[in-house]
Amino acid sequence: MEAIILAGGFGTRLRPFTFTRAKSLLPIINEPMIAHLIKTLPKKVDTVILAVNYRREQIEEYFCKHDFGKTIIVNEEPEPLGTGGAVKFADKHIVGSFFVLNADIICSLNLAEMLRFHEKKKAVATISLWPVENVSEFGVVDIRKDGTITKFVEKPKAEDAPSDLINAGAYLLEPQVLNYIEPGKLISMEKQIFPQIIQNTGRFFGYKFQGHWMDVGRISSYISVHKLLLEKQKKTFITGDQCTIQGILRQSCAGNRVSVGKNTTVESSVLFDEVTIGENVTLDHCVIGEHVSIGDGSVLRNVAVGDNERVQDGTVLDNVVVWNQPIPQGYPSKQIGNVIGE
Ligand code: GTP
């Protein structure tokens, strides 16, 4: 069985970290986001098709060095084709029912159970569903008791919402879905293809699950997912190999070869590999990129510091992105699409 992982987006909302790396390789608790996802795949999935474009070579290199016991196919789109276009572009590798998974979702969805549900319902398509409180910010589903989805309603007022369930970014599809997608075009699975499947087959189902779900699309959710996973592991902080920590880390995660000086407090923050933080520093809700140094006495709150940046002693920053290097050619100035519909 195959799983297509959508990992071709630019991840513009996670810049500056996506200026230098594929979003799916961003570390979460010191392991790339995409590794967390691959570990949740059922045994039955023996082939993973990576639908990639931006920073393809980094993803390829990662999978050359790390074995997950599955065949990995790197399927590079000539240009980003959207979620539908990327799935169609992978059709030569599909032989039966297949998963389509967003690379940027961290959740407790049990894909093997979702597969059993899909088979029992003889569904053409099954999508995972997650309940939210703020329906007016999302597309929600209209769903019958038996799990059939009859339509999507975009950003309804709370009183008009047919449910509180949103598309949670994991799909299980039959190959016939591929017939609905025109090849070589920028196509949204969610907006253009799913409504046709609902209308033409009546076998479009929703699979609700419980536990946790997080769309790791922004710096704030990137920090939140670390807090969530630390809590689940009952830890207040995590450090990688060869770290020298003289200060205090709270609800934070540090990569390999990180040093944190005396009287420094790191709170609700993520430090990538090879970060050096001086003495008497305060970091609160910050993400600090690889090879960054933060000078003594600095105070940073809600700050994202891109790879290889230097922050001078005594710097005070609030709610900014630090990036003083050129932006990579072709990197979009704003978000191209939005699958989950925040
Ligand atoms: P933003 O620019 O911040 O919205 O991030 P993004 O580019 O990752 O877009 P979004 O969060 O909407 O994408 C959800 C998932 O779909 C991510 O795992 C993306 O990598 C993936 N994705 C988005 N667009 C494409 C595409 O055109 N091709 C492929 N292969 N994957 C895509």
5, 6, 25: which to mutate for ligand 1, most atoms within 8 A of CB? 6
- Would you say residue 61 has pLDDT above 90? yes
- Would you say residue 337 has pLDDT above 60? no
Closest alpha carbon to 163 in 195, 118, 194, 133: 133
Pocket of ligand 1 (CB under 6 A): 6-13, 23, 51-53, 77, 80-83, 86, 102-104, 217, 335-339
Going from the Cα of 323 to the center of ligand 1, the distance in angstroms, rounded, reads 22
Question: What is residue 332's predicted lDDT score, i.e. its pLDDT?
Answer: 87
| Residue 49 to residues 6, 29, 267, 329, Cα–Cα distance (Å) | 9, 24, 37, 27
Ligand 1 atom with minimal separation from the 89 CA: 30
pLDDT single digits (tens) 112-169: 999 999 999 999 999 999 999 999 888 899 999 999 999 999 889 999 999 999 999 9
Positions of E strands within 275-341: 276-277, 282-284, 287-288, 293-294, 299-301, 304-305, 310-311, 316-318, 321-322
At 338, is the pLDDT very low, low, confident or very high (cuts 50, 70, 90)?
A: low
Within 13 A of 88's CA, how many CA atoms are on the CB side?
Answer: 21
How wide is the angle at C-alpha 332 spanned by C-alphas 328 and 338, nearest 5°? 135
Question: What is residue 162's predicted lDDT score, i.e. its pLDDT?
Answer: 95
- Would you say residue 98 has pLDDT above 90? yes
Question: What is residue 336's predicted lDDT score, i.e. its pLDDT?
Answer: 65
pLDDT single digits (tens) 274-319: 999 999 999 999 999 999 999 999 999 999 999 999 999 999 999 9
Question: What is residue 341's predicted lDDT score, i.e. its pLDDT?
Answer: 45
Ligand 1 atom with minimal separation from the 14 CA: 3
- Would you say residue 339 has pLDDT above 70? no
Question: What is residue 334's predicted lDDT score, i.e. its pLDDT?
Answer: 74
Provide, rounded to the nearest whole percent, the portion of the chain with pLDDT above 70. Answer: 98
Question: What is residue 227's predicted lDDT score, i.e. its pLDDT?
Answer: 97
In the predicted model, what is the mean pLDDT of residues 256-261? 98
- The conformational region for residue 106 under phi > 0 = left, psi -120 to 50 = alpha, else beta, is beta
At 40, is the pLDDT very low, low, confident or very high (cuts 50, 70, 90)?
A: very high
Rounded CA gap, 114 and 43, in Å?
A: 13
In the predicted model, what is the mean pLDDT of residues 169-198? 96
Mean pLDDT for all residues in the chain: 95
At 342, is the pLDDT very low, low, confident or very high (cuts 50, 70, 90)?
A: very low
Ligand 1 atom with minimal separation from the 11 CA: 5
- Would you say residue 340 has pLDDT above 60? no
Residue 191, C-beta contacts closer than 8 angstroms, at least 6 positions apart: none
Could you give all domains of the chain from N- to C-terminal order, each with its CATH number? 2-215 (3.90.550.10), 219-322 (2.160.10)
In the predicted model, what is the mean pLDDT of residues 73-88? 93
Q: How many residues does the chain have?
A: 342
Question: What is residue 138's predicted lDDT score, i.e. its pLDDT?
Answer: 85
| Residue 117 to residues 97, 144, 189, 319, Cα–Cα distance (Å) | 13, 15, 21, 44
